[in-house]
A and B are shown apart, each in its own frame.
Chain A
Amino acid sequence: KLDSTNPFWEAFKAAADELKLKLDCRIFPGGTDSRYVRQVGIPALGFSPMNDTPVLLHDHDEFLSADIFLKGIDIYVKLLTAVANV
């Protein structure tokens, strides 16, 4: 049961703060599978660790720098540890 504070979000946020990630929170445009997960009452966050990257999804020459990709793994190591230890 979810209250005004979500412990998973709190853990996620705390880990992101520790990593000094600047988060820009937005309302989900509603275009991904998260909406089905939320419809059955499960809180879901949409997050891909790709900053300093031009938005090229669905575009030609879609790319990701290896640096950003590898940094994303470091980020998930911390975030997953945090949310799975709530």
Chain B
Amino acid sequence: MPSDYESDPAVSNLRNYLRIRSVQPNVNYDECLTYLRGQAAELGLPVQVFEPRPRKPILVMTWEGLEPALPSVLLNSHMDVVPVFEKSWTFPPFEAHLENGVIYGRGAQDMKSVAIQYIEAVRRLKAEGIRLKRTLHLSFVPDEEIGGGPGMSQFVKTEDFKKLNIGFALDEGIASATDEYLIFNAERNIWHMTVVCPGK
């Protein structure tokens, strides 16, 4: 465990993303896009930006796998965050204040942390010279917090989305106050499966 979080590049990266005020309503996603393009450039990954609705961009970074014809894996996160009632905050919600090893900020849990974790995991794998079999697509979508109407709900209907040839997707869960990790799976007829969770 690093003891100096201030100088940890992954922590800094998260804090920089938290400082972007992609707060509902009427989010301007330009700053997120600039930031994410910078991340992709550092990772050496190509970027596509789709706009099924004007001003509602979806940015996709792609790390091609060794067998790119296989269905890919989608790592999805939303760029927007819910509003704040600033007076109730101990620290300003878009300052990404770090104190005693804790990062405070709107989006720290929901879900800018996950977006940066995807990026940092890919960064580490690439740095180790690892290649994966399947292509990974990292998607960053708008307006999840207002129902995803102009964002993901539109994107999944497009040819551009179909072309990503996605076989499996990860998206946000939720924090757990215990030592267990929460995981959510659909139960309806889309996905029949048997889930055996130990410890229950």
Chain A interfacial positions (CB closer than 8 Å to B)? 2-6, 8-9, 16-17, 21-29, 32-58, 60-67, 69-70, 72-73, 76-77, 79-81, 83-86
For the side of the interface on B, what is the size category? 35 or more
Assembled-state Cα–Cα distance A67/B11 (Å)? 10
Dominant SS at the B interface? loop
A6 touches B191 (CB 8 A): yes
The answer, among A27, A33, A51, for a CB contact under 8 Å with B176, is A51
18 contacts between A and B (CB under 8 A): A23-B181, A26-B185, A28-B184, A28-B185, A33-B153, A40-B157, A43-B190, A46-B173, A50-B176, A51-B179, A52-B179, A54-B175, A55-B175, A61-B104, A64-B102, A65-B101, A69-B11, A73-B120
A27 touches B185 (CB 8 A): yes
B185 touches A25 (CB 8 A): yes
The A-B contact count (CB < 8 A) is 288
> Knowing A33-B151, A33-B152 touch, does A45 contact B183 (C-beta < 8 A)?
yes
